[in-house]
Chains A and B, each alone.
Chain A
Amino acid sequence: MATRTKDIRADTEELVTEAKAPSRQPLTVPTDKPVAYPLDLPEGEARLRTPAVGQRASRPDGRLHGLGQTQYIDDITFPHMLHAKILRSEYPHARILSIDTSEAEKMPGVLATLTGDEIPENSFGPTFQDQPVLAYPIVRHRGDGVVAVAAVTEQQATDALEKIKVEYEPLPHVFDPMEALEDDSPKVHGETNIYTSKTIKKGDVEKALKESDHVFHRQFRTQMVEHVPLEPHASIASWDGNGRVTLWTSLGRITLGREDLARTLAMPQSKIRLIGTVVGGNFGGKNEITNEPILALLSKKAGRPVKSVFTRGDEFISSTIRHPFTMDYTTGVDNSGKILARKIRLVLDGGAYCSWTGTTIGKGSILAPGPYNIDNILVEAYAVYTNKTTTGAMRGFGAPQVCFAYESQMDDIADALGIDPLEIRLRNGFSENSLSPTSQTLQSVALKESLTQAAERFGWKEWQE
């Protein structure tokens, strides 16, 4: 150990000398984790200047990343800490008939197991609480966790999962969102798969479509994508002798995370502390609790701190992903390319649970007509459950999907009418005090400025000629 510290110190010194850092006074502490030298900010650095706003100030966390001093969850460890792993469903839709963890509990290093029926309030979700922390008695997609195990090493926890016996009764499933809309499709929850819908209605879209010189129709579809943060979902739970639990977590919303934890654990918020560590990428995927209640309960059972860091596979299969949209766009224009009416139908593949679908369908519907002055609008949007990975918040809440559709169709219209794509956007685009599809008066609108500046920088006009 001592040699290792020495080697790293020598390396660091060399790096610092090469970088000609202003301060080279070495600092060391008696652990095997070397502390790099404090680096003085170079003179003239934007962080040191006033006024602060508008400065290209460097990030203090960036310096720590560069020096390897940032502590992500994976870097944090406690004495006697255990590692948790989760057994996931073998079926896309099934009823759990029995769970036998006795063999797993006899495995070396295993100190606790947990099933859904042991969770005080086994449900969560930002819109409605339709998602179990660990599924019980119904699994609704293959990413649903069923049993969690805490063991001394990650390998022991992984090995123990293989010894768990779960008996399932498979239930009919539905994967295709259009099929899920049908009355006779298998139901994921309750009596209908349509779990939320949204309408935006302005003017008389049917009349305006009839009066249009040209009507364009097309269906667009988008796929499921994952956020793929460099740091997967990760947390550590640890209790003190007063029955207070602390969680170090990669969650992006700790205040509301604490509310959700208090609810699932049936504990007062004052007895729960959440520490949000530096998050290694969120992009919408870390906006709700995932494994935190599981770790808290495993830790309570085992009487030791418990850590879990998702594998990349866990991250894909069990965390939320982006909603695929099926989008029908019908747009009526006059001969000059002015949009008279836009009729849109959106179907969102919601996966097995609601998660952030409420926000996605809301933003998706409002934004769907595009940043254009249109008097006659009808947007009808539906989100449906399917027995697939849960779709939730992901950078843009439906906006990248609808933008693909409305902007593709703008070019279809421009092409058919022989109008330059820049021109048709300038002709229809929002300006200051334009009315949005919800009839909101828009302010600080810079759409046309962005169009003209981008066109200038790109050399759009020169190229068109």
Chain B
Amino acid sequence: MSISMRLVPRHQTSTGRQLAVLLFSLLAGFVAVGVVFAVKGVNPLFALWKILAGSFGSFYGISETITKAIPLILIGSGLTLAFRAKFWNIGAESQLLMGAICATWIGLNLGTRLPGWMVIPLMFLVGFLGGAVWGALPALFKVRFGVNEVISTLMLNYVAAEFLNLLIVGPWKGATQQGFPYTDDLPAAATLAVIPGTRIHYLTLLIALACAVILFVLVHSTTFGYELRVVGENPEAARYAGIDFFRTTVILMVISGGVAGLAGVGETAGIHHHLTYPGVISAGYGFTGIIVAWLAKLNPLASIVSALFFAGILVGGDAIQISLGLPAATVHVFNGVLLFFLIMGDTFVNKRLVVIRGRRS
């Protein structure tokens, strides 16, 4: 007698089952993170409670969670597009930075010269273009030169980060910043208003929500959305169906990179009001956005919810860093473990585990 296990495909799967698997994956993920905490000598329940209290347990916590959800909604919903076409854009981090850089240039150089009402819209437009160009490059590299997009988007992350470093210690270093590696502060016309008592720059929040809705419609009700899916699932069939691989890939990356650029505009014009180190402008939003998209099951609308969830983890992560003395890398542990459990869960959505008893033939 022997006992073996095997994964057997299911022929049907229901929405209820998908949701159950999702919730169970998250639960199992939290248990696994708890184990890591326990090994580190931190009471996992205490840490979890601190995270929850820090992110959703107070007005300040909730407002910070919403603030951090803004870039995550933009990036997450943009990435759903790319991942649907199986274009693995790992470069949202630098597409955000390029948006921030381009918008800052407008703010610093034209912010006091143009009529006040024009500055912010122009910053968002140019920020979108900055992210879009930075995103379209790897699309071009892939379609024309066969360069793997995972590597090219990642390499461009490092290049953009060093480029930003170069700007803030070199030509763009602010004369008014007492030697700190910052650009000068943006003029008033180039900064975004916030909800009083919070850091929520509501204009970017509205743009983010609108983006999620527009991308949802784009994905579900247009030919382009259909083309994305075909390109991702069956490139061979896409060719027969007359889908222009080049056009589809470049457009999807213009959008995906562009919305990440919008997030960069929000972070600089809404939060920092100047450019500084890349790690300050973006707290890893480009990478967290990957998990936001995955948790949302590549649905742009659902990425609003999953962005709030992961924004909560970022804010709660900051809280336990302070109260438990844990390093910033703790959030990476969360991200990595949860992403693992989410993709493991995907396996059980359309397969089931059966135990086979009996003699091996």
A and B found bound together = no
B residues near A (Cβ < 8 Å) are: none
